[in-house]
Amino acid sequence: MNTKLNGMYSALLTGFSDQEELDEARQRNIVEYNLRQGLAGLYVGGSTGESGLMSTDELSEQQGIVADATKGSGAKLIAHVGQPSLRDSIRLAKNAERLGYDALSALPPHSYKFTSDEIFEYYKALAAATDLPLIVYEVPGRIGRESTVEELSKILQLSGVAGIKFSSMNLFILSQLRKYHQDKVIYFGSDETFMTGALSGADGGIGSTYNVFGKLYVALDDAVASGDIALTRRLQRISQDYVEILFRTGVMPGVKLSLQHLGVDCGPCRAPFRVLSDTAKADLQVFLDDPEIRSWLAA
């Protein structure tokens, strides 16, 4: 198996100004905190980064900011380029290639209920557009249905496709993909159940809460690999307790509130995102200030 892209990647947040404009200084703050956590790299411009609320020009600019902010760090960069329009996806892909990114990724086309053949052709065109390896994406909630092993295998066999981000809870499909595509990298996309994906054959993870707890997820991945079940369960429980709070506050707003509490000036989310709970800030602070939890945050 090609292990170049294996590991744990933060699904990077986007730094906005108080007026909700792309803010370079705040973006760099978010990158800097992530780089202190021992992660393999950053997944830039994905759903966690509020890409669905950003223009193609903004996403292109963000790619440049992150590329510059990570120079010399050794962090690998995966550019998410999945846009409603294939033309815009290819434009972002070419920009990422020019900037020296290590790989591309993309949601399947999701503005309409596209057929499996249309999704295949989308990935075929995107994979052919650059020389960068492409990570495809299984995310049933965005296309309205679960893909079959056969559909995903057909895409994985495309020239230029290096792997898949698997954000489905059908672990039998994940294990089948691992069985039949041992040369492909598989990332698991569910933070709160990462250990189940790792035990089913994932080579790493890509997650929203890694922005705050990247250090913990790296340790969790190592614990699974070493067979330390007790530590695996303990770390996954911390992750689940955090996600439970985030579900009450709103995931992206809650992660940004968490970083702000840790001293990272990251800015707000872009509307219509909002904090869902009046007690969100206090709940997060109590959790993050617990000494056991604090030990898993970046120094």
What 3-state class would DSSP assign to 299?
Answer: coil
Predicted local distance difference test score (pLDDT) of residue 14? 98
Q: Of 33, 122, 137, 187, which is the active-site residue? A: 137
Told to judge if 137 belongs to the known catalytic residues of this protein, a careful annotator would answer: yes
In order of 75, 95, 188, 219, the CA distances from 214 in angstroms are 13, 27, 14, 9
Please give the pLDDT value at position 270.
98
Strands 7-11 and 161-166: unpaired
89 domain residue, yes or no: yes
Q: Under a CB-based contact definition with an 8 Å cutoff, are residues 161 and 123 in contact?
A: yes
How far are the Cα atoms of 48, 62, 138, 266 from residue 189, in angstroms, in the given order?
11, 22, 9, 23
pLDDT (tens digit, 9 = 90+) per residue, 51-89?
999 999 999 999 999 999 999 999 999 999 999 999 999
pLDDT at 2: 53
- What total number of domains does the chain contain? 1
Q: Is residue 293 part of a domain?
A: no
Residues 153-197 pLDDT 10s: 999 999 999 999 999 999 999 999 999 999 999 999 999 999 999
Nearest to 108 by CA among 47, 55, 40: 47
Provide the token pair at 197.
Answer: 């994906």
Q: Please tell me the pTM assigned to this model.
A: 0.97
96 within domain boundaries:
yes
Note whether residue 267 is domain-resident: no
Tell me the pLDDT of the chain averaged across its residues.
Answer: 96
Distance CA 168, CA 189 (A): 8
Task: Tell me, yes or no, whether 287 lies in a domain.
Answer: no
Question: Is 93:79 a contact under the CB 8 Å cutoff?
Answer: yes
Place of tokens 């703050």: 29
Based on the residue annotation, tell me whether 101 is a catalytic residue of this protein: no
Q: Give me the CATH number covering residue 162.
A: 3.20.20.70
Residue 134 lies in a domain: yes
**Domain of 151?**
7-227
- The parts of the chain modelled with pLDDT lower than 50 are 1
Catalytic residue among 9, 43, 165, 187: 165
Q: Is residue 139 part of a domain?
A: yes
Nearest of 216, 153, 167 to residue 196 by alpha carbon: 167
> Helices marked H in the chain — which ranges?
24-35, 56-69, 86-99, 116-129, 140-143, 149-156, 171-180, 194-199, 210-226, 229-249, 251-261, 280-288, 291-294
Cα torsion through 231, 75, 211, 233, rounded to 10: -10
DSSP H stretches of helix in 100-209: 116-129, 140-143, 149-156, 171-180, 194-199
Is 59 part of a structural domain of the chain? yes
192 phi and psi angles, rounded to 5 deg: -75, -10
